[in-house]
Amino acid sequence: MVAVETESGLAETSRLTMLNGESLFCERDDRVLFENLDFSLREGQVLQIKGSNGSGKTTLLRILCGLNDSYEGKIFWYGDPIEEKVEQYYSSLIYIGHRVGVNKVLTPVENLRWSCSLQQQVADEEIYAALAKVGLRGFEESQCFTLSAGQQQRVSLAKLLLSHAKLWVLDEPFTTLDASGVKQLEGWLRDHADKGGAVMVTTHHSLSVTDLQMLDLG
């Protein structure tokens, strides 16, 4: 049920393993979603999680982020169990889920100002620049409920550009994006990995990045 393939010809052993899971097991309502699942994610890698609807992709990501604790098995952050490194782990992590974390009443700028401030200090100019990059120039001061589904998604993606987090965990980030948005985001994933970050992403797209690993949940 579980298959791990690597597409990059040569694994660069000089890079550290950032996150790895050992013999993960999860069941919901008597249905085993995955068992004996091992994976490891090195710096510079993109791990794409595949699987049909209901195979447990979202569940896996939420487990890794500590948002779901109904699992068995072990997860390590640079070799240490994550429970022991929570603070450090959370300062290096960005998670964008199905619900993107954009308050409808606030403007994109206000949203980013807050959600970034939970991790690091960000100047307003940086926020404006990031919004321009995700194609929201002119919408900086509109309240988010006036934005379309894709535009709201873009607000949350701007966080990727602002943050210095090393690990991105993205749950179907491409869904509402148009063609140009998809291309842009793919570029960011590639750049982030090339700069030594790591990405876990669920998507049905096929990604073009340097060091791609697949994890298939069936």
Ligand X SMILES: Nc1ncnc2c1ncn2[C@@H]1O[C@H](COP(=O)(O)OP(=O)(O)OP(=O)(O)O)[C@@H](O)[C@H]1O
User: Applying CB under 8 A, which residues contact a copy of itself?
Assistant: 28-29, 51-58, 98, 135, 139, 142, 146-151, 153-154, 172, 175-182, 204
**Contact predicate 8/190, CB 8 Å:** no
Q: How far is the C-alpha of 95 from the C-alpha of 218, rounded, in Å?
A: 23
Do strands 198-202 and 46-50 pair parallel, antiparallel, or not at all (unpaired)? Answer: parallel
Residue in 105, 177, 187 with CA at minimum distance from that of residue 136 = 177
Nearer to ligand X, 54 or 187 (CB): 54
Binding flag, residue 58, Mg ion (CB under 5 A): yes
Find tokens 């995700």 and name the residue. 134
Binding mask 61-100 for Mg ion (x = CB under 5 A): ----------------------------------------
Specify the 3-state DSSP secondary structure of 162.
Answer: helix
> Judging by DSSP bridges, how do beta strands 212-216 and 3-6 pair with one another?
antiparallel
Which C-beta is closer to ligand X: that of 114 or that of 145?
A: 145
Picking from 129, 173, 172, 127, the residue whose alpha carbon sits closest to that of residue 154 is 173
Q: What is the DSSP letter of 32?
A: E
69 binds another protein (CB under 8 A): yes
Answer yes or no whether residue 149 interacts with Mg ion by CB under 5 A: yes
Give Cβ neighbours of residue 130 (< 8 Å, ≥ 6 apart): 112, 158, 159, 161, 162
Can residue 15 be called a binding residue for another protein (CB under 8 A)?
no
User: Quick one: 40 or 142, whose CB is closer to a copy of itself?
Assistant: 142
Of residues 84-103, those binding another protein (CB under 8 A): 86-88, 90-91, 93, 95, 97-103
- Using CB under 8 A as the binding rule, whether residue 150 contacts another protein is answered as no
Q: Is the dihedral of CA 64, 182, 12, 87 positive or negative?
A: negative
179: contact with another protein by CB under 8 A: no
Please give the residues from 153 up to 172 whose contact with another protein meets the rule CB under 8 A: 164
Residues of the shown chain interacting with another protein in the complex, contacts defined by CB under 8 A: 30, 65-70, 86-88, 90-91, 93, 95, 97-106, 110, 113-115, 117-123, 126, 143, 145-146, 164
